[in-house]
Amino acid sequence: RFADVAQAPPDPILGVSEAFRASTNPNKLNLGVGAYRDEDLKPVVLNVVKKAEGNIFSRNENKEYLSIEGLEGFRRATVDLLLGQGHPAIQEGRVAAIQSLSGTGSLRVGAAFIARFLKGATVYISNPTWGNHRNIFGDEGVEWKHYRYFDAATVGLDFKGLTEDLTAAPPGSVVLLHGCAHNPTGVDPTPEQWAAIADLCKERNLLPFFDVAYQGFATGDLDKDAFAPRLFVERGLEILVSQSYSKNLGLYGERVGALVMVVQDKESATRCLSQLKRLARALYSNPPTHGAKIAAEVVNNKELFDEWKVEMRGMAGRIERVRGELQAALEAKCPQKDWSFITRQIGMFSFTGLSPAQVDNMTNKHAVYMTRDGRISLAGLNSAKVEYLADAIVDSVRN
Ligand code: LMR
C-alpha cells in the first residue's frame, strides 16, 4: 500500500537545520533558518516573555480550549499592533481577526478562505519569496504565479517588473506582499513605491494579502514597520494580513499569530469571521493558549510593552552590527567587489547572490549552512564568526 510513496525532498529552510544538526564539523555555522541568536549563538527567551509567563503562572489558569477564533485579549492586541490603537477601521468594527498558528497557519487559513470564497483567483507571489509560500497556496489548490521583485543587477527592487506584472494580473487576483523586511531579499519598496502599489491594487481590483512576519525587525520600530498595511487601509483597500510573533517576541515554537481581514463594513467582517472560524475548526479546531497569553500580556501591559520594544531594538541592533562587520570584512578581503548591499538590505537576512553551486561550496567545504537561494540569516552570526564567514564567501565567489 505504501510502497509507492515517493520520498519528499527536504524543506529548503528547515531541511538546512536538519543538515546542520547532523554535521560533526566543529566550525559549523547555521545561517539557514531565520531565528534569532545572541552573541554566543544561543537561542534567546526575551525577558518580557519570562515576566509575562511569571504573571500567567501566578494566576493559576486552566487549560480549557480557547474559542475557535482564539484569545480575545490577544486578538485585540494583535490588531492594535497592526493598525495602531484606536484605528478607525477597528472602531467601525470592520476588522475580522482569528488567532492562528503563527505565520504559516495564518497564511494557510487565508489560503483556505481564498480557495473557498474567491474561487479561481490566482495568488501573485514575489520572485523570490519565502520558501513556504508556494507550498501553502499550492497545497490548498490555489493557483499561484510569480511577479518580478528582485533585480540582481542593482541588488534592489525591480519596480518596473513588479508594476508590469501586477498590471497584467487579472482583476480579482490576490497579491501577496511582505509587510516589511522582505524574505529572502531584505529589499523593501520605498514609501512612494508602496503608495504606487496600493494605487495599482485599487485600479486593477487586486486583493493585497500582507505577510507580516518581521514587524519590529526592519526599522526596530513596530509602528514604522506597519507602514505598508496601514497605508493600504488608509487608501480604502480591503486587505488580508497574516501576523507572526515568532521573530519579534521570539515565540517560535509556541506558534503564535493571527489572520486579520480589514473589510468594507461591519456586517462583512462578522460574516468573514464566521467563515474563518468554520475553516479553522476543520483544520485544527482552536489555537494553542500559552503563547497567545504571553503576547497579550506583553502588548496589553504598558510596562512590558515598553520593555519589549527595547529588547526588540536590541535584537535588531545586534543584526545591524554584524551586517556592518561582515561588509567591512568582505570589503577588506575582496575589495574589487561591491559589498554595500549587505548593509542596504534590512531585516534578518542578507541575499548574497551566491549561486547554488557556490552555496554548496559554502556548506560542503566550510560547513556554513544556508539556503540554496543564497540567503544567509544574520541572526545566526556573531562577531567571532565574521572573519570565518567572510573567508568562506570569498572562497566561494572565486570558485
Ligand atoms: C525563515 O524564513 O527562515 C523562517 O521564516 C522560518 C521558517 O519557518 O521558514
Ligand 1 centroid–CA 34 distance in Å is: 5
Query: Which residue(s) pair with 372 in the sheet?
Result: none
Q: Concatenated DSSP letters for 331-381?
A: HHH-TTS--THHHHS-TTEEE----HHHHHHHHHHH-EE--TTSEEEGGG-
- Write out the three cell numbers for 306: 515598553
Of all residues in the chain, what percent carry a pLDDT higher than 90? 98
Best residue among 17, 36, 106, 130 to mutate for probing ligand 1, ranked by most atoms within 8 Å of CB = 130
pLDDT of residue 398: 86
pLDDT of residue 135: 97
Ligand 1 centroid–CA 246 distance in Å is: 9
- Which residue has the CA at smallest separation from atom 4 of ligand 1? 34
Q: Is 371 in the pocket of ligand 1 (CB under 6 A)?
A: no
> Which positions ≥6 away from 20 have C-beta within 8 Å?
28, 30, 32, 369
- Which residue has the CA at smallest separation from atom 9 of ligand 1? 13
Ligand 1 centroid–CA 302 distance in Å is: 30
Same CATH fold assignment for domains 14-44+317-398 and 66-300 = no
- Whether residue 181 contacts residue 211, with contact meaning beta carbons closer than 8 Å, is answered with no
pLDDT in tens, 57-92: 999 999 999 999 999 999 999 999 999 999 999 999
Q: Is 252 in the pocket of ligand 1 (CB under 6 A)?
A: no
Of all residues in the chain, what percent carry a pLDDT higher than 70? 100
pLDDT of residue 96: 98
Ligand 1 centroid–CA 93 distance in Å is: 32
- Whether residue 298 contacts residue 49, with contact meaning beta carbons closer than 8 Å, is answered with yes
Query: Among the options 158, 165, 211, 373, which is catalytic?
Result: 211
Averaged over 41-50, what is the pLDDT?
97
Q: Is 33 in the pocket of ligand 1 (CB under 6 A)?
A: yes
Ligand 1 centroid–CA 116 distance in Å is: 27
- Which residue has the CA at smallest separation from atom 2 of ligand 1? 34
Ranges of H-type helices in 140-225:
159-168, 191-203
Query: Among the options 51, 188, 247, 373, which is catalytic?
Result: 247
- Whether residue 212 contacts residue 310, with contact meaning beta carbons closer than 8 Å, is answered with no
Where are the domains positioned within the chain? Answer: 14-44+317-398, 66-300
ipTM score of complex: 0.93
Ligand 1 centroid–CA 33 distance in Å is: 5
- Whether residue 33 contacts residue 213, with contact meaning beta carbons closer than 8 Å, is answered with no
Best residue among 11, 129, 132, 251 to mutate for probing ligand 1, ranked by most atoms within 8 Å of CB = 132
Q: Is 183 in the pocket of ligand 1 (CB under 6 A)?
A: yes
Average pLDDT along the chain: 96
* Whole-number Å distance between alpha carbons of 179 and 176: 9
Q: Is 351 in the pocket of ligand 1 (CB under 6 A)?
A: no
| Cβ count within 10 A of residue 9 | 7
Averaged over 309-317, what is the pLDDT?
95
Ranges of H-type helices in the chain:
14-22, 47-58, 72-83, 88-91, 102-117, 133-139, 159-168, 191-203, 227-234, 266-283, 290-300, 302-333, 341-344, 356-366, 386-398
Q: CA 337, 182, 81, 200 torsion: positive or negative?
A: positive
Ligand 1 centroid–CA 214 distance in Å is: 11
pLDDT greater than 90 at residue 29: yes
How far, CA to CA in Å, does 188 sit from each of 109, 156, 219, 289?
Answer: 25, 8, 11, 33
Q: Is 315 in the pocket of ligand 1 (CB under 6 A)?
A: no
- Which residue has the CA at smallest separation from atom 5 of ligand 1? 34
Ligand 1 centroid–CA 383 distance in Å is: 23
Q: Is 13 in the pocket of ligand 1 (CB under 6 A)?
A: yes
How far, CA to CA in Å, does 250 sit from each of 34, 178, 294, 344?
Answer: 11, 19, 11, 24
- Which residue has the CA at smallest separation from atom 1 of ligand 1? 34
Q: Of 260, 292, 66, whose CA–CA distance to 179 is shortest?
A: 260
pLDDT in tens, 153-210: 999 999 999 999 999 999 999 999 999 999 999 999 999 999 999 999 999 999 999 9
CATH number of 14-44+317-398: 3.90.1150.10
Query: Which residue(s) pair with 208 in the sheet?
Result: 175
User: Is 188 marked active-site?
Assistant: no
Q: Of 41, 73, 47, whose CA–CA distance to 310 is shortest?
A: 47
pLDDT greater than 80 at residue 399: no
Return the CATH number of 66-300, one of 3.40.640.10, 3.40.50.10090, 3.90.650.10, 2.60.120.10: 3.40.640.10
User: Is 130 marked active-site?
Assistant: yes
* DSSP reduced 3-state for 257: strand
Nearest atom (ligand 1) to Cα of 183:
2
User: Is 337 marked active-site?
Assistant: no
pLDDT greater than 90 at residue 97: yes
